[in-house]
Structure 1
Amino acid sequence: MTSFAERKKPISPEWDPWDAWYTRSKEGRYRLTSVEFTVTNLCNLRCEHCAVGEALVEKEGVSLPVEQLIRQLEKVEDLQTLSITGGEPIVNRHVVDNTIRPLLQYAKQRGIYTQLNSNLTLPLSRYEDWIEDIDVLHISYNYRDEADFQRMAFANANHQPSATLTNRLFQRLKDNAIVLSKAGVFISAETFLSPFTAPHLPHMHKEIAEMGCKRHEVHPLYPSDFAKGMKLLSVDEYKAAIENLLNDRDPAIWILFGTLPIYPCSHHQSDQDLWLRLFHEPNITVRQDPDGRNRLNINAFTGDVIVTDFADVPPLGNIKTDSLTTIFDLWLDHPLAKKYHCYCPKAHCTGPNLLVANTYYQDVDFQARKAHISV
């Protein structure tokens, strides 16, 4: 008999199981197909752009039993993807052994796609005993060199580490990526776009390709937690950065634009032209935002359920008292969901991310707009 795992389609530009588009277009509504766990509030870095930075702690709390987490997953009939985030999930060996590995093994047995978010700066041995159970290893890469890494990765640290230490961590990040990529691990490296990173995006893209990463994700800088005071790109600057990358990219690397702040319902011709280009160039995809459309985040310590791990929407419920599908259905009736869950099938668009909408389109009624183009 073929196992669920053997029936999984390979992840590719033609199949991104985290994308909310598939269920919405096929079934006519959003369904809970993705769950994300925040499994730790510890991290060995204090990055200036960290969108969950204010939740980071120096001493770990007590997590809910993993059996309780898995019982909730068992009730999600349409579950397709499982994501694990933090903090840095790998920094606490107890969390790895007692939460992460059981979750990954459960997902593997059920045939669920998995992703773990890591800064990849820990010794390689910390990854080797569970990495074969992961489908996507998601990392951040926003640096030109060691000096960038030192400035950015410890911008919010109480004590600044030495250049020797930070250089070693940065080199380890790159070395780990190369070794794991050669071993067949699907590494997806994310770059956030800000006034600092945008001019250097093609250079970072080349570094990501040299590390063997299979995918380069490009997202806006989310103005949340540590990043609240950072300067943001305008939409026009964002478009220019994307065009610059598209004109100077490695065609063998899949580029995924997530939470894109550009939409086919825009009246600006440049927005429409860029949208069409992104949908017609090979190895380029635009991911329709999973948060709140097919995914919920669970805090593994409190059981609180939220739309995303870095939004300001209060908890929607708690797994100690509520089922995830009930919470998701309640969210779909929430005023914010009704405001932003627009859908344009001809343009392949499901509307804006909450943070992007609040940052760039506060006065726009997306429900009253229609796409001006078809893909």
Structure 2
Amino acid sequence: MNQTETGTALVKKPLSPDWDPWDPWYTRMRKGRHELTGVEFTVTQLCNLRCEHCAVGEMLVKEEGVALPVETLIRRLEEVDTLQTLSITGGEPVLSPRVVEETIRPLLRYARERGIYTQINSNLTLPLSRYEDWVEDVDVLHISYNYRDAADFHRIAFEKYGREVPQKAGEKLFHRMVDNAKALSKAGVFVSAETLLSPFTSPHIVQMHRDVAEMGCRRHEVHPLYPSDFARGMELISLDTFRETIHQLVDHRDEGVWILFGTLPFYPCSDNPADRELWLRLHKEKNITVRNDPDGRNRLNVNTFTGDVIVTDFGDVPPLGNIQTDRLDTIFNRWLDHAEARRHHCFCPEARCTGPNILVADAYYPSTDFQQKKAQLSLETI
């Protein structure tokens, strides 16, 4: 169970490498099927940055329309009996005080009262005071960290901005992000920093990991670069480079920081012994986890402006329904019958694997039928 009752209050089990409620593994193993346990809301399409690796960059706007009432969002959440996690993303969710007051804070209050785990994705570049009033209600404050220094941040964060941004302005935001992460971590906030592995970041991953540790982040998430939206034209690293980068990181990591490898492009069914060796190593190492892909296995994304529901906030699968007319669990069951779900929802319990992320599989294994493969290793003796 993920929570217990103490009087009338719900006490959630602390997040740890042994308990990651966003991972669909637990439900799939216990129930024998995937269930909708997570909902992600895209609450804004505004952002003060235009990062070159942004997987939703083309959705960003300068002026935003009117969102659906938060009561509509909560009413749909109420219908999901299996709900365990609530994620909030954008754009930059904190950029508009109105969005914070009218959408984010009511959602966080609802989740707290129901004992649901919460995550908010922020670039953390706004003044610290913009976070302090509500951040205590968030279980995970998720940030991106793909930079060696302020100069890198300036180049990457304003790559798609459309006009020149002074170097000093970029440096100011970078240092504010770092200072905010340190201050919030010191105050007890669970800050999780994500790095996307690319030709630019992979040679510097050890230093970036040390920076994440110095900021006080409790977790460092390492993901592939998703070839979507702004990042569609960026170069992907080879699987050999990806594998070597992970080994290097693990060899030189700070063991006090939880490393989470998400949407890992290596699988226990691989015919390559090096892939299977890496899979085993990551499951043996202390304070390291491999998260099975939540998107479409236990989570849906909701656009709070249109009401459209999709598998992920940066996928290519068209909307599956709309919360103005459909229940979320109905939409999720509709997705489970979708051809793309059937193609990728394989399951090898002995290796703790629920199959690949759609974007990653299409990028690295376009001709592989994962339904015809089987794990060639077992973690049962670990």
Shorter-chain TM-score range: over 0.9
Task: Give the match's secondary structure for 1:126.
Answer: helix
1:302-334 deviation per Cα after TM superposition (whole angstroms, max 9, x unaligned) = 000000000010000000111000000010000
**Counterpart in 2 of 1:90?**
94
Structure 1 match to 2:115: 111
Whichever residue aligns with residue 116 of structure 2, its letter is I
Indicate conservation of the 8 Å contact 2:10/2:113, yes or no. Answer: no
Q: What is the alpha-carbon distance in structure 1 between the residues aligned to residue 18 and residue 31 of structure 2?
A: 19
Q: What is the root-mean-square deviation in Å for CA atoms of aligned residues?
A: 0.8
- Map of 1:253 onto structure 2: 257
Partner of 1:151: 155
Q: How does 1:1-375 map to 2 (within 5 A)?
A: 2=6, 6-375=10-379
Contact in 1 for aligned 2:40/2:88 (Cα 8 Å): yes
Residues 197 and 223 of structure 2 are in contact (CA less than 8 Å); yes or no, is this contact kept in structure 1? yes
Deviation by residue 1:225-280 (Cα, 9 ceiling, x = unmatched)? 00000000111111011011011100000000000000000011100100000000
Residue 5 of structure 1: how far off its partner (Å): 5.4
| Amino acid paired to 1:27 | K
Distance 1:4 1:103, change over 3 A: farther
The amino acid of 1:311's aligned partner reads G
CA separation in 1, counterparts of 2:36 and 2:238?
33
Measured in 1, the distance between the counterparts of 2:60 and 2:256 equals 37
The answer to whether the 8 Å contact 1:48/1:153 transfers is yes
TM-fit CA distance, 1:2:
1.7
Does the 8 Å contact 1:4/1:110 carry over to 2?
no
In the alignment, structure 2 segments of 5+ residues that lack a partner are none
Q: Which consecutive unaligned segments of at least 5 residues does structure 1 have? A: none
Letter in 1 for 2:136: E
SS of 1:219's partner is: strand
- Tell me the secondary structure at the aligned position of residue 95 of structure 2: coil
DSSP-derived class of the 1:7 partner: strand
Contact 1:5 1:112 in 2 (8 A): no
Deviations 1:23-79 (A, max 9, x none): 000000000000000000000000000000000000011000000000000000000
- Deviation of 1:107 (Å): 0.2
TM-score by length of 2: 0.97
Q: Give the percent of matched residue pairs that are identical in Structure 1 and Structure 2.
A: 67
| TM-score, structure 1 as length reference | 0.99
Counting matched residue pairs gives 375
Aligned equivalents of 1:322, 1:349: Cα separation in 2: 31
1:6 CA displacement: 3.6
Superposed CA deviations along residues 148-192 of structure 1, whole A, max 9, x for unmatched, are 001100000011211111101000000000000000000000000
On the 8 A contact 1:86/1:117 being kept in 2, the answer is yes
Structure 1 residues 275 and 167: alpha-carbon distance in aligned structure 2, compared to 1, 3 A threshold: same
Change (3 A) 1:103 1:243: same
Query: What is the SS of the residue equivalent to 1:343?
Result: coil
Q: Which amino acid aligns with 1:352?
A: P
Give the drift of 1:7: 2.7
**Comparing 4-13 and 113-122, the one that deviates more:** 4-13
3-state SS, counterpart of residue 67 of structure 1: helix
Q: Which runs of 4+ in 1 moved over 6 A?
A: none
Q: Hey, what's the Cα distance between the residues in 1 that align with 2:41 and 2:278?
A: 34
CA distance in 1, matches of 2:70, 2:11: 26
Amino acid in the other structure paired with 1:345:
P
User: In the superposition, relative to structure 1, how do residues 229 and 212 fare at CA in structure 2: closer, same or farther (>3 Å)?
Assistant: same
